Amino acid sequence: MSKYIDSLFNLENKIAAVIGAGGHLCGEMAKGFARAGCKVAILDLRLEKAQKVADDIQKEGYPRPLAIALDVTKKEEHELALAGIIQEFGGLDIVVNGAGINGPSPFFEISLDEWHSIMDSQITGTFLGCQVYGKYLVDQGKGSIINISSASAGPPLSKAFTYSVAKAGIKNLTQNLGREWGKKGVRVNAIRPGFFPTEWNRKNFITPERENAILGHTPMGRYGEPSELLGAILWLASDAASFVTGAEIEVDGGFSCMTI
Catalytic residue (one of 62, 136, 163, 223):
163
The conformation of residue 46, written as its DSSP 8-state character, comes to S
d(C-alpha 60, C-alpha 64), whole Å: 10
**211 Cβ neighbours under 8 A, 6+ residues apart:** none
248 Cα distance to chain centroid = 12
Q: Read out DSSP for 130-198?
A: HHHHHHHHHHHT-EEEEEE--GGGSSPPTT-HHHHHHHHHHHHHHHHHHHHTTTTTEEEEEEEE-----
Q: Which of 100, 144, 89 is nearest to 122 (CA)?
A: 100
Asked if 4 is an active-site residue, the reply is no
d(C-alpha 18, C-alpha 101), whole Å: 16
Q: Which residues are catalytic?
A: 163
